[in-house]
Amino acid sequence: MVSATGDRQRALYHFDNHPVKWVRVTGVVVAVDEFKGKKVYTVDDSSGMCIECTAIAPPPPPTTDAPTLPPHLNQIASLMHVQTAAKKPADDKNKAKGDGKISEGKVVPSVLSPAVPWEEVDVGTVVKVKARVNNYWDTIQLEVVKIEVLRCTDQEVRCWNEVAAFKREVLSGPWVVSKEEEERCRRVRERELRHARKGRVERQGGGNGAAAGVEERRKRKEAERREVERREEDARRRKAREEKLKAKEKMKRYSSLAVLKAAKGKYDALGI
């Protein structure tokens, strides 16, 4: 069995050119390891190599520590319980029947909820395992979907015959895909690629639009800053012109100031 890793996270295993989804192993349990949330059964199928089968264990039942009561209080509580049980209406019985029907419904086993007789499987038990192939730290493991206990040798031999017939009738021949199935798979794959490409383009377009919005806001702030600086410069120039005009008017009005200004700096050394 070889693996081919595609776009998916999980490797796709093949037997010749047959894609493999489930495998079945028949053998004896030689070791049982318990970990948090799972059990690992090591199965020897007489092929010269043991295989680890991991099964997700059910959660332990909740433990409720009931407080201890004195004997006389226990007697009173038991009497009250008997009276309450005698007064239960008939609809509670019907409800209990309905709940039993729901609980008796068949649950489809899967990797997350495997069908395993936990109390019966132990070292030395002959089992038939249906599982999914997994690679854990470069070690091939089987993720258990269902475990059946084989009670006698006849059941074990029957499983061997089924495996041999399946290999002879199915796996020995090449796996051929019809033209219709091939065309359907091609259309599905092209549709997936088209949707992925469209989503990527939309994300890129959204990114470009956001960048353009940021650039537009930056340009707007820069223009506002330049406008404020221009107005401040105009105000300074206007104030300087007004001060210059006021000085000229003052010189015209007082001629002595004009004479002092013209002679300023010429006779400073003489103290005049």
DSSP code at position 241? H
CB 38 within 8 A of CB 191: no
- Identify the pLDDT of residue 101: 43
CB 145 within 8 A of CB 115: yes
Tens digits of residue pLDDT in 55-71: 888 877 766 655 565 66
Q: How many CB atoms are located within 10 Å of the residue 207 CB?
A: 10
In the chain, % helix, strand, coil (3-state, to 5) comes to 50, 20, 30
Does the global pTM surpass 0.85? no
| Cα dist from 237 to 37, 50, 224, whole Å | 83, 95, 20
Q: What's the chain's average pLDDT? A: 76
**Residue 110 reports pLDDT greater than 70:** yes
DSSP per-residue string spanning 186-230: HHHHHHHHHHHHHHHHHHHHHHHHHHHHHHHHHHHHHHHHHHHHH
DSSP per-residue string spanning 45-101: -SSS-EEEEEEEPPPPPPP--PPP--HHHHHHHHHHHHHHHHT--HHHHHHHHHHHH
Question: The domain 2-58+107-175: what is its CATH number?
Answer: 2.40.50.140
Task: Quickly state the pLDDT bin for 197 (edges 50, 70, 90).
Answer: confident
Tens digits of residue pLDDT in 114-171: 888 888 888 888 999 888 888 888 788 888 889 989 888 888 888 888 888 888 888 8
